[in-house]
């Protein structure tokens, strides 16, 4: 579904990604695990095209989309949910969803406002509220719902549980599993191993801009030495 | 009472025209963050195109309306072409370079309009239904103005529906907040930007076409309208449509009643109101603090001391400049003196713009105050030249200090607009006051006997201007200069380490004003006269052009820019009647080729 090969990215003179490689199979939840500053966010931004990769391939459904404009990549079926949410604060919930709307894709039931409100019940009552006047958890749900309006076949989530209350985190995990059940491929950037383990099928551990380990989630959980070396603070 | 009602209606009609132009400007700014100097040109084109269409159509109201809409559509098409051909390539450039490019467009359009439609004002032969009037409170009020009064709110309502009820409008509002995120959601920004630009241009064209029956299509309307539109947009709050309407109302009523009460001060009045509004509400009536449009590169290059090679080059040029009196004749020396004045003028703007981070649209104010101070010292007080040369920078610096108190709290476009307002006030005073000789200026100011020899005066100008420029450079590499740049790049952190950003900026502002005043004083003795045009917008733009051509983030930039610009200008004016066209095209080409300025590009090539 999504195959990243030797991705390099820079911000000006700072070389952030040094050849990131991993792959996510159709319908699975792949967790990109790493500490702060490891390169998780830059990897996701490089995939969606907000950061133009200096080298490497981003193969989506067999097509190399590296270097495309972000809107073309999004239209190809890749959805992106940024870490800092970036909701349109002056627009209502319904208008935020409208901005994300894209044509339906063959083989996937198209997302509608009603289906998204079923997935995130909190949003239903806030339909006409300006997004800037919602809680952090509600904004996080909105930003995922907004991206789903584009009917992506693969969605990139950047630390969706960060800074949220435990009850909301649990809802978020539910939502991710619901997406998986819909057949959406999920790439989740995360530093919280506990949350990652609750939703992930496989993991890729990233450190200083390189993937240093990848394999089944269960294998990572069984390898205390690996976790201690690369994930614990 | 009746007179008041009539003035009220006149004001309302004026508000509609102003709003149409300002609405286009504010919509374009909201999404693209481009301050479009060429917006007045689109208004002008709307009027000319409408004239060309309407003189060929039957005179009935229906045909007239169709012709006006057609002209608006044509202007929208021109706007779309402008966006696709030029602005699209500049969205990642610093905003002042975008401004510079649109100023280039303004110059090009001026000459193209002259070529296509000729120099004469084109008035529309008015059919009877356009000449009709309505009896209101015992007076005759033009029916067409009543129509205009209705059109403004109508357009506001239509735009409101467009932006709140359509997906396109929702996308535009979303892009105003975060255009990068909109792209990541699969929206093609370039289509969005082109259509927004076309809409804004169409509104300007509509405004021009609607203004035609009350006046004429003429070559001055672009600059007149853009100044008014800038004021309206800034007073209303950049990006806010209701704000634009409110401000248009305020300004137009002010003009209507100002004519009654203070006929000599209408020019000043508009800018005084703008300065007052910005002093109380720094982001305009309904505006909000602008988050930087996300998705643009805003990295500022570091300013480094000149490399040894550049220093060597500078010394060589300086040596050549010192040798000039022995090599060149009086004419060349006078040209060189002008270049020296331009250099100090540009360097003074650069000091506040680059390291100070305060881009001014009205830098000519300080130059003009210095020039008039020297002129009045010589002609009014019969003082010797050194007194004039001292008074120039002193008065300009003092004025900058006083005015800077308002300015340094603002930033970006608002700061630029407030400086423009102040320059316009100074200009209006010079233009309307008896003391300054009004439009006739002050004539016959010559250097003292000991400096009459062009070689001596040139040497004096070299000492003052090159000395002033080097002095500014010295200051900017002093601890004060570093503190200033710290305050520019990270005001909160600068404050946390004990700096006082507002005071640093004020000091830089006053220093720049004094240096510009010195340039103005030297320029006055060199030319022998001073006119209000010294303070005009185009003079302020000259300074901006020099700095931006040279590159803001280099110390040598303003020097290179001033010399390149004055040289270019002289050559073009001598060589061709179409100098605006040539200058405009050269500016556009330079901005496209060197988005960091000439000296900036040279610096980049060295590091690359």
pLDDT for res B299: 45
Chosen domain end from B219, B239, B258:
B219
Q: Give CA separation, A37 vs A158, A206, A210, B565, B568, in Å.
A: 13, 10, 12, 47, 50
DSSP character at residue B292? P
Chosen domain end from B534, B565, B599:
B534
The CA distance from B430 to B369, in Å, is: 9
A103 touches chain B (CB under 8 A): no
DSSP character at residue B124? P
Which residues does residue B141 pair with via DSSP β-bridges, in sequence order? B134
DSSP character at residue B290? P
pLDDT for res B45: 97
- The yes/no answer to whether this complex scores an ipTM above 0.95 is no
In the β-sheet with A210-216, what is the strand arrangement from edge to edge? A78-81, A154-158, A185-190, A29-33, A202-207, A210-216
Instruction: Return the residue of A nearest to B175 by Cα.
Output: A88
Count up the domains in chain B and report the number. Answer: 2
Strands (E), B386-530: 442-443, 529-530
pLDDT for res B295: 37
The CA distance from A94 to A113, in Å, is: 8
Task: Give residue limits of the domains in chain A.
Answer: 27-38+82-230
* pLDDT profile of chain B (608 residues), mean per 10: 81 90 90 87 96 91 93 97 91 77 92 94 82 80 89 93 93 88 92 94 95 88 85 87 92 85 73 81 79 44 71 85 83 88 93 86 93 90 89 95 84 79 84 80 86 88 93 91 88 89 92 96 91 86 83 78 84 84 87 70 49
The CA distance from A82 to A140, in Å, is: 9
Determine the distance in angstroms separating the CA of A41 from the nearest CA of chain B, rounded to an integer: 14
A69 touches chain B (CB under 8 A): yes
Verify whether the Cβ–Cβ distance A95 to B173 is below 8 Å. Answer: yes
Q: Which domain holds residue B507?
A: 332-534
DSSP character at residue A130? B
Question: Which residues in chain A have Cβ-Cβ distances shorter than 8 Å to B188?
Answer: 69, 71
pLDDT for res B296: 37
Determine the distance in angstroms separating the CA of B184 from the nearest CA of chain A, rounded to an integer: 5
What is the average per-residue pLDDT within A143-162?
94
Q: Decide: A55 and A6 in contact? Cβ < 8 Å.
A: yes
pLDDT for res B463: 93
Question: Which residues in chain A have Cβ-Cβ distances shorter than 8 Å to B294?
Answer: 86
Chosen domain end from B175, B196, B219:
B219
Does residue B312 sit within a domain? no
Determine the distance in angstroms separating the CA of A86 from the nearest CA of chain B, rounded to an integer: 7
pLDDT for res B608: 37
Q: Do B379 and B520 belong to one domain?
A: yes
Q: What is the pLDDT of residues A25-71, one digit of tens each?
A: 999 999 999 888 889 999 999 999 999 999 999 999 999 999 999 99
CATH of domain A27-38+82-230: 3.40.50.300
Does residue B569 sit within a domain? no
Residues 6+ away with beta carbon under 8 Å from A39: A16, A17, A20, A206, A208, A209, A210
A127 touches chain B (CB under 8 A): no
Nearest by CB to B186, from A12, A89, A102: name it: A102
The CA distance from B7 to B18, in Å, is: 16
Does residue B172 sit within a domain? yes
Does residue B391 sit within a domain? yes
Question: Which residues in chain B have Cβ-Cβ distances shorter than 8 Å to A86?
Answer: 178, 181, 294
Q: Which of B360, B385, B358 is nearest to B373 (CA)?
A: B385
Q: Which of B171, B180, B181 to mutate to test the interface with A (most CBs of A within 10 A)?
A: B181
Helices (H), chain A: 40-48, 70-75, 93-100, 113-119, 121-124, 136-148, 166-182, 193-199, 217-222, 224-230
Residue A178: band (very low, low, confident or very high) from pLDDT cuts 50, 70, 90: very high
Q: Decide: A143 and A123 in contact? Cβ < 8 Å.
A: no
Does residue B108 sit within a domain? yes
Does residue B582 sit within a domain? no
């Amino acid at each position: 579904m999504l195959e990243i090969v030797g991705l390099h990215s820079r911000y000006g003179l700072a070389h952030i990604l040094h050849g990131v490689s991993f792959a996510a199979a159709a319908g699975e939840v792949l967790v990109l695990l790493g500490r702060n500053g490891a390169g998780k966010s830059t990897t996701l931004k490089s995939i969606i095209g907000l950061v133009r990769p200096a080298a490497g391939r981003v193969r989506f459904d067999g097509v190399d989309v590296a270097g495309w404009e972000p809107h073309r990549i999004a239209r190809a079926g890749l959805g992106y949910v940024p870490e800092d949410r970036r909701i349109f604060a002056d627009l209502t919930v319904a208008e935020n969803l409208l901005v994300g709307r894209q044509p339906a894709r063959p083989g996937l039931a198209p997302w509608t406002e009603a289906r998204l409100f079923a997935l995130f019940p909190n949003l239903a009552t806030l339909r006409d509220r300006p997004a800037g006047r919602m809680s952090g958890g509600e904004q996080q749900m909105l930003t995922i719902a907004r991206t789903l309006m584009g009917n992506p076949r693969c969605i990139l989530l950047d630390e969706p549980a960060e800074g949220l209350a435990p009850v909301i985190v649990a809802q978020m995990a539910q939502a991710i599993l619901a997406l998986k059940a819909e057949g959406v491929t999920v790439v989740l950037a995360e530093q919280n191993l506990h949350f990652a383990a609750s939703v992930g099928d496989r993991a890729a551990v990233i450190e200083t801009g390189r993937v240093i380990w990848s394999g089944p989630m269960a294998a990572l959980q069984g390898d205390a030495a690996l976790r201690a070396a690369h994930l614990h603070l | 009472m009746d007179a008041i009602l009539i003035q009220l209606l006149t004001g309302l009609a004026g508000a509609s025209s102003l709003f149409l132009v300002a609405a286009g400007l504010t919509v374009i700014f909201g999404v693209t963050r481009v301050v479009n100097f060429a917006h007045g040109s689109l208004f002008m084109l709307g009027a000319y195109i409408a004239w060309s269409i309407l003189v060929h159509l039957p005179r009935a109201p229906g045909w007239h309306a169709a012709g006006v809409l057609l002209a608006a559509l044509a202007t929208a098409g021109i706007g779309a072409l402008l966006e696709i051909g030029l602005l699209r390539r500049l969205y990642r450039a610093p905003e002042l370079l975008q401004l510079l490019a649109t100023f280039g467009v303004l110059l090009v359009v001026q000459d193209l309009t002259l070529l296509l439609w000729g120099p004469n004002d084109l008035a529309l032969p008015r059919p009877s239904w356009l000449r009709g009037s309505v009896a209101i409170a015992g007076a005759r009020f033009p029916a067409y103005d009543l129509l205009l009064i209705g059109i403004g709110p109508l357009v506001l309502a239509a735009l409101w529906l467009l932006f709140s009820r359509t997906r396109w409008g929702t996308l535009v509002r979303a892009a105003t907040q975060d255009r990068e995120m909109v792209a990541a959601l699969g929206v093609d920004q370039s289509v969005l930007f082109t259509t927004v630009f076309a809409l804004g241009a169409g509104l300007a064209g509509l405004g021009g076409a609607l203004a035609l029956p009350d006046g004429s299509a003429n070559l001055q309307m672009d600059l007149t309208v853009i100044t008014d539109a800038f004021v309206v947009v800034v007073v209303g709050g950049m990006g806010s449509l209701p704000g634009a309407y409110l401000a248009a109302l305020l300004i137009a009523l002010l003009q209507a009643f100002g004519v009654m009460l203070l006929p000599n001060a209408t020019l000043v009045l508009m800018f005084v109101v703008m300065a007052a509004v910005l002093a109380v509400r720094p982001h305009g009536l309904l505006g909000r603090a602008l988050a930087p449009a996300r998705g643009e590169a805003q990295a500022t290059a570091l300013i480094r001391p000149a490399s040894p090679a550049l220093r060597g080059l500078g010394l060589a040029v300086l040596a050549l400049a010192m040798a000039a009196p022995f090599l060149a004749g009086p004419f060349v020396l006078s040209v060189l003196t002008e270049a020296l004045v331009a250099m100090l003028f540009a360097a003074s703007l650069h000091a506040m713009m680059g390291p100070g981070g305060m881009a001014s649209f009205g830098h000519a104010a300080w130059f003009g105050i210095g020039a008039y101070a020297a002129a009045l010292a010589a002609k009014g007080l019969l003082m010797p030249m050194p007194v004039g040369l001292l008074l120039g920078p002193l008065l300009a610096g003092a004025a900058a200090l006083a005015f800077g108190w308002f300015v340094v709290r603002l930033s970006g476009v608002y700061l630029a607009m407030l400086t423009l307002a102040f320059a316009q006030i100074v200009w209006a005073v010079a233009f309307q006051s008896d003391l300054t000789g009004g439009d006739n200026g002050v004539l016959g100011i010559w250097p003292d006997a000991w400096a009459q020899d062009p070689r001596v005066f040139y040497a004096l100008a070299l000492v003052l201007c090159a000395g002033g420029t080097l002095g500014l450079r010295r200051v900017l590499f002093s601890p004060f200069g570093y503190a200033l740049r710290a305050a520019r790049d990270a005001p909160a952190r600068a404050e946390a380490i004990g700096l006082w950003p507002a005071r640093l900026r004020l000091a830089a502002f006053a220093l720049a004003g004094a240096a510009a005043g010195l340039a103005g004083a030297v320029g006055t003795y060199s030319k022998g006269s001073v006119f209000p045009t010294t303070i005009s917008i185009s003079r302020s733009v000259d300074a901006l052009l020099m700095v931006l051509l040279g590159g803001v983030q280099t110390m040598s930039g303003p020097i290179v820019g001033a010399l390149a610009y004055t040289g270019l200008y002289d050559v073009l004016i001598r060589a061709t009647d179409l100098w605006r066209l040539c200058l405009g095209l050269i500016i556009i080409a330079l901005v496209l080729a060197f988005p960091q300025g000439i000296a900036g590009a040279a610096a980049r090539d060295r590091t690359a």
